[in-house]
Amino acid sequence: MTEIRPPTPIVGRRSDAATAWLTEIERRQVATFRVEGGKHVGAIGPPEGEALARAVRIAIDLGIPLIGTIASSGADVSEGIASLHGWGTVAKAMVDASGVIPTILTVVGPCVSGPALLLGVADLVVMTEDAFAYVTGPDTVRDFTGIEIDNRALGSATMHGTRSGVASFVVADEDAAREVVATVLEYLPSNHLEDPPVYATDDPIDRDCVTAAAAVPARATASYDVRTVIEDVLDADSFLDVRGGHATNLVTGLGRLGGRPVGVVANQPQQRAGTIDIEASEKAARFVQWCDCFNLPIITFVDTPGFEPGKDLEWRGMIRHGAELVYAYAAASVPRLGIVLRKAYGGAYIVMDSKGLGNDWCGAWPTAEIAVLGAPGAVQILHGRRLARIADDEERAREQTALVEEFEDRFANPYVAAERGFVDDVLAATDTRRMLAAALDRFSTKTEVRPTRRHGNTPL
């Protein structure tokens, strides 16, 4: 059970719907607030806005995590325009807290209208199965589009856990939500000036990763679950999948290596062959940026054939969204380690924290294929006209096979990349855990001096 110490109230303007206090979760001090009930189902007016904003400001001042629980019908209409500024004040405070202290919000009922945007500002969002959230309600949707829809179909926890990605975790009830919040805090420092807590582990750091080595098929197009590799490389039972239901072609999560918390990003060949699309780019970029905020080293597991092709993706801005991942990795100053498991082709290889983006240590398994594109596609580009001139089908197929094998031997292997300094080590798959742990030790004191500026212009 999660150990929660009796709270100390945070004094603010009296509110029937909002409360705030200082407490401890598993002996970690946190600032918490709760908005629910009152005259209008947790509606946020000036008193509520003041109470919640005060909780955020105190959390910033004390350098402690902020945990909020929300069941709100939106801005309090009875208070007029001042209610809009009420939740706007909370939003400003949470933006000031972003990257300074961890912010986690739990939705246990409705969270609608303007206050729902607070969920997008928070680091992580936990939603109970009966919760729902949206900016524009069913009546407005019907009037504007003619589509009949109810609250849950419009903004259910399930939808936010899969399609929108707003919910980092979807759980059965509030007790389960508290357990998730307590678990997440075990990986995080209290603020951006501290390092994450290190825990003792009885999992030998030098053990062989037999399960991981066996999980990855030799055939480049064969499917497997990359989480099997992650769980075997990290400390036993330490991996926590974050936004696991959203953009499932890419995995993000927290774990430990030798007792040290780390962030994990990995292509998932089990879904969409591990290609990178808009949702995967956004998911990974936000996660990388968050890890960088709170001093979590990042380990990247690479197995991707490239960006997912499609007119719809290009029209929706694949360039801009792919650039988000480029920007997040290139800007991150925490230790960044990578392992190429199998395929690493083209631009997708580069955006998965390659050396060119500033990766600190990159290893590759001997069977890894690192190239501009796969051998069959490369042969078609390089030798397509020559092959087309061969009239006999069987002879053409033999020649194409020979050219593919030649390309793989000369270019699509990790040794060529290692010779040019793009891979630091070609290692046996079973050595992955010990090699990553050794690299993490070497870069644990990494610091970067950068030009003084307020912030860059991220492609958002």
φ, ψ of residue 106 to 5 degrees: the values are -115, 130
Extract the tokens encoding 34. 């709760």
| pLDDT at res. 11 | 54
Joined together, the tokens standing for residue 84 give: 């809009």
Mean pLDDT, 10 residues at a time, the chain of 460 residues? 61 74 94 88 88 95 97 85 88 96 97 94 98 94 92 95 98 98 98 96 97 93 96 98 98 98 98 96 98 98 95 95 96 97 94 96 95 78 82 83 78 87 97 98 86 76
User: In what helix (H) or strand (E) does residue 323 lie, and over which residues does it extend?
Assistant: helix 318-331
Q: Taking every pair of C-alpha atoms in the chain, what is the biggest distance, in angstroms?
A: 86
CB 258 within 8 A of CB 274: no
What pLDDT does residue 68 have?
97
Gap between the Cα atoms of 35 and 51, Å rounded: 10
How far is residue 212's CA from residue 215's CA, in Å, rounded to a whole number? 5
Give the pLDDT of residue 84.
86
Question: Residue 10 and residue 68: Cα distance in Å, rounded?
Answer: 13
Q: What is the predicted pLDDT for the residue at 5? A: 57
User: What are the C-alpha distances in Å from 105 to residues 68, 125, 169, 181, 451?
Assistant: 5, 5, 11, 9, 34
Q: Which domains are delineated in the chain? A: 8-185 (3.90.226.10), 210-374+412-442 (3.90.226.10)
Q: CB-side exposure of 416: number of CA atoms within 13 Å?
A: 13
User: Which residue spans within 44-89 are E strands per DSSP?
Assistant: 66-72
**Closest Cα to residue 345, out of 458, 287, 269, 235?**
269
Place of tokens 């206050």: 115
pTM for the full predicted model? 0.93
CA atoms of 415 and 409, how far apart (whole Å): 10
CA distance 380 to 308: 20
User: Is 32 in a helix, a strand, or coil?
Assistant: strand
